[in-house]
Amino acid sequence: EVQLVQSGGGLIQPGGSLRLSCAASGFTVSSSYMTWVRQAPGKGLEWVSVIYSGGATHYADSVKGRFTISRDNSRNTLYLQMNSLRAEDTAMYYCAKDGGEARGPLGYWGQGTLVTVSS
Amino acid sequence: DIQMTQSPSSLSASVGDRVTITCRASQGIRSDLDWFQQKPEKAPKRLIYAVSGLQSGVPSRFSGSGSGTEFTLTISSLQPEDFATYYCLQHNNYPWTFGQGTKVEIK
């Protein structure tokens, strides 16, 4: 069974850094393409970043140069390193796995982790 | 960037009603269009992939259709557990973009 368990959120001051984790089970992260999506309080969904099995990555313009998506194959875990955080980065962050045989990028979701950027 | 215009932004409906939600893309996105359901304080859940593919475990009252730039999610007979917010997503071009959401409420 595919499971994604997230951790690493919290309260952080503007300009600070935080690393989100997404521990996977039931599949191999390195063989999948993995995505981060966020949702500001009371707002809609926003795509943040994706990493493909071959290692290629893509980012939303709003986070490019500040956020880095990566994975640790030995831990079967996805990460999102967030630097130079701003108030507008405050959101619930979700990791997601592709749908496998059912195509598309967001077939399975983690439970979410809340990031609050505030002084 | 591809804009996804979702309509309506909200609707009120009764149990048993047929409900239709539309997403219009600002340019063609082939079949790279998925639909999601989100209940309060919960992670989104994929309902439909590739325009019309039904995600495993999703009831058959949910269906998707469309092509090119106009896509539709239909709930054939609304059930109490279907009251939620629905989003479309295009993943044809970066940045991937979601519609702004449709909140389905009880009439």
pLDDT tens readout for residues A41-63:
999 999 999 999 999 999 999 99
Asked if A106 lies within 8 A of B89 by C-beta distance, the reply is yes
- Alpha-carbon gap: A64 to the closest alpha carbon of chain B (Å): 11
Nearest in space to A20 (alpha carbons), one of A36, A34, A42: A36
How confident is the model over A9-49, as pLDDT tens digits?
Answer: 999 999 999 999 999 999 999 999 999 999 999 999 999 99
Asked if A99 lies within 8 A of B96 by C-beta distance, the reply is no
With CA atoms as reference, the chain B residue closest to A112 would be B43
* Averaged pLDDT score across all residues of chain A: 96
| Whole-number pLDDT of residue B20 | 98
Contact between A73 and A11 (Cβ < 8 Å)? no
Euclidean distance between CA atoms B4 and B12, whole angstroms: 22
How confident is the model over A74-102, as pLDDT tens digits?
Answer: 999 999 999 999 999 999 999 999 988 77
- Alpha-carbon gap: A50 to the closest alpha carbon of chain B (Å): 10
Asked if A110 lies within 8 A of B94 by C-beta distance, the reply is no
Which band of pLDDT confidence, cut at 50, 70 and 90, is reported for residue A103? confident
- Radius of gyration, alpha carbons of chain A: 13
With CA atoms as reference, the chain A residue closest to B96 would be A47
Percent of chain B's residues with pLDDT above 90:
98
What angle (nearest 5°) sits at the alpha carbon of residue B96, between those of residues B90 and B101? 60
Say which residue the tokens 């999506």 belong to: A37
In sign, the C-alpha dihedral spanning A25, A114, B99, B43 is positive
Contact between B6 and B20 (Cβ < 8 Å)? no
Asked if B44 lies within 8 A of A103 by C-beta distance, the reply is no
| Whole-number pLDDT of residue A69 | 98
| Whole-number pLDDT of residue A101 | 79
Which residues of chain B does A110 touch, with a Cβ-Cβ cutoff of 8 Å? Answer: 43
How confident is the model over B19-62, as pLDDT tens digits?
Answer: 999 999 999 999 999 999 999 999 999 999 999 999 999 999 99
Asked if B87 lies within 8 A of A109 by C-beta distance, the reply is no
